[in-house]
Structures are given as C-alpha cells and as structure tokens.
Amino acid sequence: MTLLDQGHRMTDPAVTDMVCEAISDASPRGIAAAVNRLIRADRLHVGDRLPTVRALAAELGVSPATVSEAWQALSAVGAIESRGRAGTFVRSSQEPSRPVRYLSVGLAPTVGGLDLSTSMPDPSLLPPLEKSLRSLTSASLRWTTSYLDDPVLPALQVRFLESWPYEPARIVTVDGALDGLSRVIDQVVSIGDRVIVEDPGFPALLDLLDARGAEIVPVALDDQGIVPGALAAALEGDPVAVFLHSRAQNPTGAGLTPARRDALARVLARSSAVIVEADHSGLIARAPDLSLGSRLPERTVHIRSYSKSHGPDLRIAALSGPAHVVDPLMARRMLGPGWTSRILQSLLLALLEDPEAEECVARARDSYHRRTENMTLLLEKQGIHVHPGDGVNLWVGVEDERSALLTLAASDIRVAPGSPFKVRASASSHVRVTTALLPDDPDEQKAIARHIATAALVTPSPRGGVS
Ligand SMILES: Cc1ncc(COP(=O)(O)O)c(C=O)c1O
C-alpha cells in the first residue's frame, strides 16, 4: 500500500463524499470555491482532514494538478494548511498565514542602543547616490513614459553578465532577492511538494515555503555549504526544488568552494529538482560567486541581490535561469508590478559603471570582513569560539538563546534570535550578530565583545530569570 493510499484511508469518507457532492464545477476555481463555501457554512470544521489531491482527483475524474491548484488557492488565503505527509487540513482561521519566522527575528526599528539584529549593510558604507542620480540623463528618464519598453534594461543585462558565474539562458531583474525567491516558488512549488532547504536557513524563505504548503526537508551545512551526503539522502524523497546560498549563507556565512560545487552538482545530476541559489550578499561577499548553473544550467536559478552592496531600497536583484522557469515568471509578473522600475534600473547601472561607487563597495567589503574577523578574535579571547563566515553576519553559539537576548538587551544591544533560522529542533542555541554594523573603534568593539561573550554563557535560572 502506498503512502497516498494510507493517507486516503485516514480521511473521513463522509468528508470526501460531502466535498464531492458540493463541487458542481470541477475546475480549480470551482473546487476551491466549493470547499470554501463548506468551511464558511461550518460543514467542514477546523482540523478536518481533506481528501488527498490524488484521491479527490480520482473521485472527480480530473487531473491531480487541478485539485492541487485549488488546494494552493485555499492555502494562500489561509483556509487550509498542508502538514506535509500528515495531509491537508481545514485551518483554524481564515486569515492568510503570517510570516511567523521572519517576524520573530524582530524587524521593528529599535530606538537607541545598538541594533545588530538586522542583517543590514552599514548605511555609511553604501555608495552615495547623488552623483549617479545626477548622471541619469534625459535619455534614461524617458523610461518613465511607456508600458512597452524592455522589462530589463539591455545595458544592465550586459553588465550583469560580465560578472555572472555562468552563461544563463535568461537574465532579468526582480525587486530584490526575496521577490525573486517568492516568484520562483510560485513557478516551481505546489502544495504538498517536498523542497530541500539549508538548516539553519533564511526565515523568510521558510515562511514562503510554509505559506505555499510545501513539505520542508532540511539538510545540514558545514562551512562550504550543503553537505553532499545529506543532500543525497534528502533527494531520495524526490523534492521539486533545492534552495541554497552560493556564498555568505544567512545566518552562518558559509560559501561554496569549487570542489563543493562540483560534489553537489554530481549528486544533483541524479535528480530532477530545480536548484535555486540565493546570493543575497552579492558584491560585498569576499568569496567568488560560484554557481551550480555552470554545471546544470537547465535546472539552476541564480539570484544576486544588490541590496547589501548598493542599498536595500533600490529593491533590485538579478535573476538568471532556464527559459522554462524565467519566461512564465516574467509573464506572471506582468499581472502586477510588471517590471522593476527602469528609473531604478538606470540608477543601479550608473552605480555599477561608476569607478568611485565600485571603490565604495570594495571598501565596504573589506570593512565587513575586518569587523567580522575582529569580533571573532575578541570573542575567542573571551573563550567563545565562533566560525567567521563571509558577509554581514556572525552565527554565535550560546548556552541559552532567550537568556543571551535578555542579557544583551539589558546592555542596549539587540541581536537576532537563532531559533527562527532552524528548521529542526536543535539541542544547541544560537544568536545571529550583524557584524557589518559594528563600530570601528577598537575599545567599543572590545566592550561589545565582552557583552556578547557574557551573554553567550548565561543559563536560565531555575526561577525563570537569567543567571
Ligand atoms: C538569504 C537572504 N535572501 C534574501 C534577502 C533579502 O534580500 P533583498 O533585499 O534582495 O530582497 C536577505 C536579507 O537579508 C537574505 O538574508
């Protein structure tokens, strides 16, 4: 008996009958509408297990894709939720699912104190915009006038390709790396699909995959990224996609080496999963940008953000991939924002062509590296061993996450909790420190390192406080 058969037996047959009877139009929209009406009429209740995609498709005489599309629409409005292999259930409220992990990292701006929780670039190290804004000529400003111009500035495309790690079939702009991830998920992941992610990984990505109703399969990392043996085991479950960082992994700072890229490519060649690489640190990372696209171009999507190097508010990332992923993604995007504002694209192009801006980015890259190294050494002197990674963050092991956060907050220092990054429950605790935002003054760095080291060693007191 297959797992799907077992799943079907676990659904109350009365529920399957009721759902089938309620459906008069067996299109995705008709199925979704019928199930939604049953929930609103209180005939389907919170926690009721819905028939599996395959079982309902067989009952209705439609393809599984039709039911899957209906389940996705209901999932997107929060009416139902996938619990992986356990099945799909009516949800407790019809509110759209909230990005719980992302929100729990704490995105609200802090007032006063030192906020090292944000994974943001240092504003004082971003290239100034004035010169590039002034350089925007009337020729580039005419871009405001039309719906019909190229969605991607051809000159920017050429610029991207000059530093791209492989020759892609398509390269386009999207509104930041997270927008790119979200749009790729919409293209390649359906409710109930298995997807492989790094553990620990990016909370917003995990939230997006949850909202899609995907079954998240975590794989372990070391300082070169995903561990090939762990990936090989996870691929046994036939996932539709593998999400990874090419460099400066968030939160650990891990990055692919050529040998690891090739080892992963050999493992991935045996599967059909789409590979989605996020290079969210882009040009401020020290490691070269390596991509599995140089080995498996037909299956790889590579996304590079310019937020950390040129400013988060530019909202630009470059996304490359095969035509079968990128073309529908761009077509779907026309039913919404349409394209990344060509004014912003012109601004990024001006910045990328300006040697002074390039120097600024190089200076930022060096400063982030120095700040991370300094903090690593200072923590080491205090007996706290951390592995310095690439990019803007340091992943610091602590005795107890909550105690560390509270202890640091008492000294007006905020860092990000580690738990939203973890897919599997873990015996160890961490916090993420955005070292890019550290001051350069050595005495201040020492004082901050002392606070972090103290906080790392605090254990919860038996009475619930910290000791
Ligand atoms: C892994 C990862 N992806 C994407 C983003 C968001 O990047 P963007 O500003 O390009 O959307 C971040 C932000 O820190 C990130 O850490």
Structure confidence at residue 7 (pLDDT): 42
What's the rounded Cα separation, in Å, for the pair 248 and 368? 12
Q: Judge if the beta carbon of residue 276 lies within 6 A of ligand 1.
A: no
In three-state secondary structure terms, 316 is coil
Ligand 1, pocket-test mutation among 105, 174, 178, most atoms within 8 A of CB: 178
Which comes out higher in pLDDT, residue 95 or 226?
226
pLDDT at residue 1 in the model: 36
Cis status, amide bond into 251, omega within 30 of 0: yes
pLDDT band at 427 (very low <50, low <70, confident <90, very high): confident
Task: Fold for 3-90, please state it.
Answer: Arc Repressor Mutant, subunit A (1.10.10)
C-beta of 176 in contact with ligand 1 (< 6 A)? yes
pLDDT in tens, 48-90: 999 999 999 999 999 999 999 899 888 877 789 888 888 899 9
178 ligand 1 Cβ < 6 A: yes
Q: Could you tell me if 423 and 466 are in contact, meaning their C-beta atoms sit under 8 angstroms apart?
A: no
Distance 55 CA to ligand 1 centre (A): 39
How many whole angstroms from 306 Cα to the centroid of ligand 1?
Answer: 10
CB 307 near ligand 1, within 6 Å: yes
H and E: helices and strands count for the chain: 19, 14
pLDDT one-digit tens code per residue, 124-145: 999 999 988 888 876 666 767 7
Distance 181 CA to ligand 1 centre (A): 9
Distance separating alpha carbons of residues 339 and 151, to the nearest angstrom = 5
What's the chain's average pLDDT?
91
Mean pLDDT (whole number) for 387-393: 94
- Rounded CA-CA distance 464/467 in Å is 9
Conformational region of residue 464, where left means phi above 0, alpha means psi within -120 to 50, and beta covers everything else: left
pLDDT higher at 70 or 5: 70
Say whether pLDDT at 5 is over 60.
no
Q: Mean of the pLDDT values across residues 101-119?
A: 78
pLDDT digits (tens, 9 = 90+) for 191-245: 878 999 999 999 999 999 988 888 899 999 999 999 999 999 999 999 999 999 9
Q: Does 94 have pLDDT greater than 60?
A: no
The residue extents of the domains of the chain are 3-90, 101-123+357-457, 130-353
The whole-number pLDDT of residue 100 equals 76
Residue 423 near residue 200 (C-beta atoms within 8 A): yes
Burial class of residue 151 (count of CB atoms within 10 Å of its CB; 0-12, 13-18, 19+)? middle
Does any ligand 1 atom lie closer than 6 A to the CB of residue 219? no
Look-up: residue for tokens 């030192």? 114
177 lines ligand 1 (CB under 6 A): yes
pLDDT of 304 over the 90 cut: yes
Q: Does 329 have pLDDT greater than 90?
A: yes
* pLDDT confidence of residue 467: 53
CB distance 202 to ligand 1 below 6 Å: yes
Tell me, in angstroms, the distance from the centre of ligand 1 to residue 152's CA: 21
At how many degrees (to 10) do helices 53-60 and 13-22 cross?
Answer: 50
DSSP designation for 386: -
Looking at the CA of residue 306, tell me the nearest atom of ligand 1: 10
What is the average per-residue pLDDT within 394-398? 98
Axis crossing angle, helix 28-40 with helix 13-22, rounded to the nearest 10:
120
% of the chain with per-residue pLDDT over 70 = 93
Which residue CA neighbors atom 7 of ligand 1 most closely?
177
CATH topology of domain 130-353: Aspartate Aminotransferase; domain 2 (3.40.640)
* Cα-to-centroid distance, 13 and ligand 1 (Å): 44
Per-residue pLDDT, averaged over 356-384, amounts to 97
Residue nearest to atom 14 of ligand 1 (CA): 119
Choice from 101, 252, 307 to test ligand 1 binding pocket (greatest atom count within 8 A of CB):
307
Q: Is the CB of 280 under 6 A from ligand 1?
A: yes
Quote the ligand 1 centre to 390 CA distance (angstroms): 15
Whether the domain at 3-90 and the domain at 130-353 fall into the same CATH topology: no
Architecture label for domain 101-123+357-457: Alpha-Beta Complex (3.90)
Average of per-residue pLDDT across 428-436: 97
Ligand 1 mean position, distance from CA 278 (Å): 8
- The best mutation among 182, 280, 304 to test binding of ligand 1, ranked by most ligand atoms within 8 Å of the C-beta, falls on 280
The CB density around residue 222, as the number of other CB atoms within 10 Å, is 12
User: Which residue owns the Cα nearest ligand 1 atom 3?
Assistant: 280
Under the banding of pLDDT at 50, 70 and 90, the label for residue 147 is confident
Q: For ligand 1, what atom is nearest to the CA of residue 317?
A: 10
State how far the Cα of 217 lies from the Cα of 238, in Å rounded to an integer: 11
pLDDT reading at 4 higher than 50: no
The half-sphere exposure of 145 on its side-chain side, counting CA atoms within 13 A, is 5
| Ligand 1 pocket member 314 (CB < 6 A) | no
**For residue 107, what pLDDT is reported?**
56
Which of 20-34, 37-51, 103-117, 446-460 tops mean pLDDT? 446-460
- CA atoms of 54 and 253, how far apart (whole Å): 41
Tell me, using a 6 A CB cutoff, whether residue 317 lines ligand 1.
Answer: yes
User: How many whole angstroms separate alpha carbon 426 and alpha carbon 451?
Assistant: 24
> If you average pLDDT over each of 8-12, 96-100, 400-404, which comes out highest?
400-404
Q: Which of 117, 181, 202, 310 to mutate to test the pocket of ligand 1 (most atoms within 8 A of CB)?
A: 202
Give, for ligand 1, the residue of 250, 277, 316 to mutate: max count of ligand atoms closer than 8 Å to Cβ. 250
User: Rounded to the nearest whole angstrom, what is the distance from the C-alpha of residue 425 to the centroid of ligand 1?
Assistant: 23
